[in-house]
Structure 1
Amino acid sequence: MYTLIPPIGADPPERKVIFVGLRGVPEIQGGVETHVAAISARLAERGWQVEVLGRAPYLASQQPYIWKGVTVTPVWAPRSKSFEALAHTALGLIVAARRHPDLVHIHAIGPALLTPLARLLGLHVVVTHHGFDYDRQKWGRFAKSILRTGEAMGMLFSHANIGVSKAIVDTVRRKFSVGAIFIPNGVENPPPKPGTSYLDGIQVTPQRYILSVGRIVEEKRHLDLINAFARLNDPGLKLVIAGAADHAGPYQREVEAAAAATPSVVMTGFQRGQALFQLYRHAALFVLPSSHEGMPMVLLEALSYGVPCLASDIDANLALDLGAENYFPLGAVDALAAAMRAKLAARDPAQSAERAARTIDSFGWGTIVDRTMDVYENALLGWRPGSVRHDGAGPAKRAELGGRR
């Protein structure tokens, strides 16, 4: 079979991609959701037809709508921690098959369990591996087994794989002998310096609070942070926890009780837009005490604002190579308290500004979208990284991508 090549100067054919496996866009809590929002809008700017199939309970409208050139379509999903992602993805793939897109892009290894179904429906599939979700504390043995199977199905049955960290790419190669392309999460350019209207409303003083951003789930280890903050015993300092739980449960109630019992802890719920900009911009310190991350998007965001940061010493955080002084041992509450005290006492605005510029330069979305588009075009050719190509890509490029057919 031959593919017709358009004449020189002709406009390329318009491509269509459908995103599946996430709650929706825009401004919906979650790293995957932030990732897809950034990529989808930029793909639309570059002439792609883009549709996001979101989970109806999380979307502001129950009718399809357009956001920054992206069509967002609500698809039914149960509000269930265990079955929500799979039920929504199954329905989403059936909807996608009726749309006849060039590609379906599945995000995360839970939804990736249904990659074989996508193939049976005749879809070209790209899967992004966002992290080893079976390591999350909230899942029991059965759920972890399903997630491991989802990882295998996604990596083995897709036309192309993306990993958001080098650790993920290396693991995929080792476990499945399949190539994956490293394309990290990115950051937006921070907006001009915002005011303090939101901070005034929650009675928080600029540069006199520690910030945590993320969903209220076990692996984010908010209790470690609250306990460490209490050890600082600084009446002029506050701890702001920005985030919410997707599903009410014992851990959420435990965090709320600990916050209520600890003076100067402020829980804001999920924040976005100007409120979140102000929280990042005016924080004295950002702390990420997680036991599990894929590639820590909130840490990148904090770095892009020039906020001094502390992170647990898990592999995903260490991969950002922030320097030993910016890490603490996972779960070591006394060590976290000591590190927070030291960071607050030794703030260096020049160093923070330099790190912010470096973060924006290294993790800008423009380059990330370019690389994602390359993966799409190769997936449409039925090519896996490392296979022989006849489009001029030389050995160096093929070596960079790695993998097999």
Structure 2
Amino acid sequence: MRILLLTTGLRLGGAERQVADLARQFVAFGHEVAVVSLTLAQEVALPREVTLHRVDLRKDPLRFLLTLQAVRKWVGRWQPDIVHAHMFHANIFARLLRPQRAGGAPIPVLCTAHSSREGGRLRMLAYRLTDGLCAATTHVSAEGRQYMLDVGATTAGRISVMPNGIDTDRFRRDPQARAQTRQALGLGPDAKVVLNVGRLVHEKDQQRLIEAFRQLAGDPETGASIRLLIAGDGPLKATLVRHAAALGLSHAVRLLGPCDNVPALINAADLFVLSSVREGLPLVVAEALACETPVVATDVSGIRALLAASGSIVPAADTDALARGMRAALLGRQDVAAGRAHAVAAYSLASVAQRWIDLYRELVQRRGAALPAPGKADHA
């Protein structure tokens, strides 16, 4: 198949990483892949086999229309079998794009929402008004799907749940990576390491995580050598640094910035913590499970499905509950083997990518278009 992935951007975010991972897996399956990004910045790598087209979409109506026309022409030349959009702006753009084959037949558009709440009334109205311009919509979590139904963004027969996937070969238990990473970070073998990975934004609530961590740093049972590592970048970096200093935790809290060695970091940790107040499907939790690292996560969208076999769930926006959950996880035991087995069965990238291929074929054939016969990889 010729698959076009249309994304709002390619910065270091969960949805953006998923677009890159799917592109990589589709290429491995033997499909032709193009990625169209509506912004110019790129922080996630794409395979060299992927055709990349970036544009500088602006909110100005005239610029928007000109960009829409330019991308429509580009898509007309590339001639995909399907257009699969990711995130709100790309979803609306793809619907308005109305791509066509060389003979004038419409190319199916599939839209995926990644956030539990993709915006307020205006965005939901935009979804509702353009719903008929796409073949189908998916959401990464059951909670997110239900929200879109509750606000009338679409109807039950037009939206389904499709989770994101992770590379369970990259994300796995690796004692050597654990030792090397801890040594590189100057962490002794006896140090208790708590890890958070994510954008430094209000939705991730890392400020509350630092406050909860302070309770552990002063607890003799969790030890004086306990450390909190936060990997990621974002507008709150300076705020978080100042907050840790104000709590007397500069020696114990380290902001690592953007990292490309997430599997090694997760292996180096004794506990992974998700402190968010809002998510779509926080795939980094599945990555931690796949590495057999204990997990404590706030009760946000997608978490109950992710932690069906292992891990601890605490209320969101509750500092004391988060601290208690972290303490219990560090001093107790979790069934990390069951956690990995669940992550592999439900979220492995290869199986999720194959589910996408099956859906693509269904949508294309529903339009009456001919496709190449399924290859061997299509039934893997």
Structure 1-normalised TM-score?
0.75
Instruction: Please list the CA deviations of residues 223-275 of structure 1 after superposition, one character each: whole Å capped at 9, or x if unmatched.
Output: 11000001112421100000111xx4xx3432232134423101001111xx3
Q: Secondary structure at the match of 1:327?
A: strand
1:150-165 correspondence to structure 2 within 5 Å: 150-152=126-128, 155-165=131-141
Gaps of 5+ in 2: 101-105, 369-380
Q: Secondary structure at the match of 1:347?
A: coil
Instruction: Please list the CA deviations of residues 290-331 of structure 1 after superposition, one character each: whole Å capped at 9, or x if unmatched.
Output: 111111101111111111111112242223344797111111
Write the distance in 2 (CA, Å) between the matches of 1:101 and 1:304: 34
Q: Secondary structure at the match of 1:57?
A: coil
2:6 maps to 1:23: no
Distance 1:338 1:322, change over 3 A: same
The alignment-based identity, stated in percent, is 25
* 2:75 counterpart (91, 96, 119): 96
Corresponding residue of 2:55: 75
Instruction: Please list the CA deviations of residues 57-115 of structure 1 after superposition, one character each: whole Å capped at 9, or x if unmatched.
Output: 22589xxxx7163223333357x9x99xx899846555323422222111012322223
2:236 maps to 1:255: no
Corresponding residue of 2:281: 295
Corresponding residue of 2:87: 108
RMSD: 3.1
Distance 1:132 1:355, change over 3 A: closer
Write the distance in 2 (CA, Å) between the matches of 1:150 and 1:302: 36
* 2:229 counterpart (215, 240, 257): 240
2:300 maps to 1:320: no
Preserved CA contact (<8 Å) 1:290 1:312: yes
Q: Secondary structure at the match of 1:330?
A: coil
Write the distance in 2 (CA, Å) between the matches of 1:57 and 1:88: 20
Write the distance in 2 (CA, Å) between the matches of 1:191 and 1:92: 39
Write the distance in 2 (CA, Å) between the matches of 1:325 and 1:19: 33
Q: Secondary structure at the match of 1:67?
A: coil
Shift of 1:191: 5.2
Corresponding residue of 2:362: 378
* 1:267 counterpart (255, 261, 265): 255
Distance 1:291 1:204, change over 3 A: same
Q: Secondary structure at the match of 1:76?
A: coil
Write the distance in 2 (CA, Å) between the matches of 1:286 and 1:31: 16
Distance 1:325 1:298, change over 3 A: closer
Structure 2-normalised TM-score?
0.80
2:115 maps to 1:131: yes
Q: Secondary structure at the match of 1:287?
A: strand
Distance 1:354 1:287, change over 3 A: same
Shift of 1:339: 1.5
* 1:367 counterpart (329, 336, 351): 351
* 2:320 counterpart (334, 339, 348): 334
Write the distance in 1 (CA, Å) between the matches of 2:145 and 2:118: 16
What letter is aligned with 2:257? G
Corresponding residue of 1:181: 160
- Which shifted more, 122-131 or 290-299? 122-131
Write the distance in 2 (CA, Å) between the matches of 1:112 and 1:152: 12
Gaps of 5+ in 1: 1-14, 136-143, 385-405
Write the distance in 2 (CA, Å) between the matches of 1:315 and 1:57: 28
Instruction: Please list the CA deviations of residues 112-163 of structure 1 after superposition, one character each: whole Å capped at 9, or x if unmatched.
Output: 222332116654211112123446xxxxxxxx34432343356432112222
Write the distance in 1 (CA, Å) between the matches of 2:232 and 2:263: 14
Write the distance in 1 (CA, Å) between the matches of 2:66 and 2:144: 25
Write the distance in 2 (CA, Å) between the matches of 1:325 and 1:191: 16
Preserved CA contact (<8 Å) 1:281 1:305: yes
What letter is aligned with 1:238? R
* 1:149 counterpart (125, 131, 141): 125
Corresponding residue of 2:375: none
Write the distance in 1 (CA, Å) between the matches of 2:65 and 2:268: 41
Q: Secondary structure at the match of 1:371?
A: helix
Preserved CA contact (<8 Å) 2:117 2:144: no
Distance 1:112 1:324, change over 3 A: same
Write the distance in 2 (CA, Å) between the matches of 1:57 and 1:104: 21
* 1:225 counterpart (178, 199, 209): 209
2:21 maps to 1:38: yes
Distance 1:48 1:324, change over 3 A: closer
Distance 1:70 1:300, change over 3 A: same
Shift of 1:283: 0.8
What letter is aligned with 2:346? S
Write the distance in 2 (CA, Å) between the matches of 1:88 and 1:197: 51
